[in-house]
Amino acid sequence: MPEFTQEFPNIYRLKIPFDNIYTSVFLIKAVCGKILVDCATTQRDVDDYIIPALGALGIGVGDISKVIITHNHSDHAGGLKQMLELNPNLTVINSVSFVDEDIIIYPMPGHTRDFLGVLDKRTGTLISGDGLQGAGVDKYRCSLATPRWYLETLEKIKHDSRIKNILFSHAYEPWNCDFVLGTDAVISCIEECKKYVGEIK
């Protein structure tokens, strides 16, 4: 059974099977409470993976105060309805207006027009989800709703000195892993992402 594994202090990842790959759900412990970033694909994912994995950490579904949805694709937002049924007091964060001492909602338009990343200020870690695509993963190649905005997002991240590490939701190519660590690796990641941008619209 998949479990949450600690990526950085106060940041955990749960890998949930999706097609031939996996999608990631992140748990952040912040001043405002325990936050999930994304909630997998289906009701069953919530019941069979997320709830037991939280329980293994001693966390009940009612202990989750907020969920941040990076974007409205099914492998990231499909479990939201079930999460809300299990915890009606759950607050859904889908706007940059959210303020917390530990994290920043980080707009990253490109993959979708309204994509939101999450920047943990304590560790300099950006949870980019699908916001940085590389060459894509498995049968899912680099997918951009707005290539021009994506290039602007890449430049913004490249020049944001706060960002020291990046966590992806999938093991994107060409890295074939779901993270990059350190400032040099972040810059290299950004430059690599640019190579796969198609015709700019």
Model confidence over 139-168: pLDDT tens digits? 999 999 999 999 999 999 999 999 999 999
Q: What is the pLDDT of residue 115?
A: 95
Q: What is the pLDDT of residue 152?
A: 97
Distance CA 105, CA 116 (A): 6
Centre a 10 Å sphere on the Cβ of residue 84 and count the other Cβ atoms it contains.
15
Give the end-to-end CA distance of the chain in Å, rounded to a whole number. Answer: 43
Distance CA 179, CA 172 (A): 9
Distance CA 199, CA 84 (A): 39
* Entry pTM: 0.95
Token readout for 7 is: 């990526």
Q: What is the pLDDT of residue 32?
A: 87
Q: What is the pLDDT of residue 100?
A: 84
Q: What is the pLDDT of residue 2?
A: 86
CATH architecture label of 5-194: 4-Layer Sandwich (3.60)
Residues (pLDDT < 70) of the chain are 199-201
Pairing of strands 165-168, 91-93: unpaired
Q: What is the pLDDT of residue 97?
A: 75
